[in-house]
Amino acid sequence: MEIELKSELAERAWDLEQRLNQCLVAIRENYLELGLVASALKAGKLYKLVCPEAQNWAHFLGLKMTGLKKAQVDNYEYVAKTIGDYIKDHNVDITRAIDIARIVRALPAPEREGKARELIGSAEIMPPAAWKDTIRECKGMITSEECDHPEEFRKHKELCTKCGGWVN
């Protein structure tokens, strides 16, 4: 009986993981679509046709898109326009997509596609610390592996055991 129970739990866990993966794909597809739709609505101030009282794009978003900030929508638009075609079939979250879009935008046109594909492949598999170093390297900054962490560049903080906060 217990073996059957474990197999049922394992099957349920597998099903839940599959649903989670589907949700992640839907999120990626939705932020790309949201970026394209926002771009179209913003172009020519079409948003004023559905919300005449909106004084500008930010005001429209505040009136109609509760929970979304202008910076978020701008980021979705930016990613969709710069690397949307490359990223749509890959599992890359929005923060890493924004990093990629910013790096690719600064490159000369002939180099953009190759670098975008390279970074997208890395973004799917790299752990956070390695990704941070990759971005720093692309920006011409020193990576954590290359740094000797001199004392004058360290920030010392102490944990307050009374409140749990970090204190300089």
Determine contact, residues 96/121, Cβ cutoff 8 Å: no
Taking 70 as the threshold, does the pLDDT of residue 2 lie above it? no
Predicted pLDDT of residue 36: 93
Interstrand relation of 158-159 and 166-167 (parallel, antiparallel or unpaired): antiparallel
Q: State yes or no: pLDDT of 67 exceeds 90.
A: no
Query: Do residues 50 and 2 touch, judged by C-beta distance below 8 A?
Result: no
- Report the pLDDT value the prediction gives residue 60, as an integer from 0 to 100: 93
**Does residue 3 surpass a pLDDT of 70?**
no
More confident call, 14 vs 3:
14
CB atoms within 10 A of CB 47: 22
Query: What is the per-residue pLDDT for 37?
Result: 93
The residues near 90 (Cβ < 8 Å, ≥ 6 apart) are 120, 121, 123, 124
pLDDT at 1 over 50: no
Domain residue spans in the chain?
2-142
Tokens of 155: 């920030």
Q: What is the pLDDT of residues 117-166, one digit of tens each?
A: 899 989 988 998 899 999 989 888 888 888 887 877 777 777 778 777 77
Average pLDDT over residues 104-123: 88
Res 73 pLDDT > 80? yes
- How many C-beta atoms surround the C-beta of residue 63 within 10 A? 13
What's the mean per-residue pLDDT of the chain?
86
Residue 34 near residue 69, CB atoms below 8 Å: no
pTM score: 0.67
- C-alpha 121/C-alpha 161 separation (Å) is 43
Is the pLDDT higher at 43 or at 164?
43
Q: What distance lies between CA 91 and its chain's CA centroid?
A: 11
Q: What is the predicted pLDDT for the residue at 92?
A: 84
Q: What pLDDT is stored for residue 149 in this prediction?
A: 77
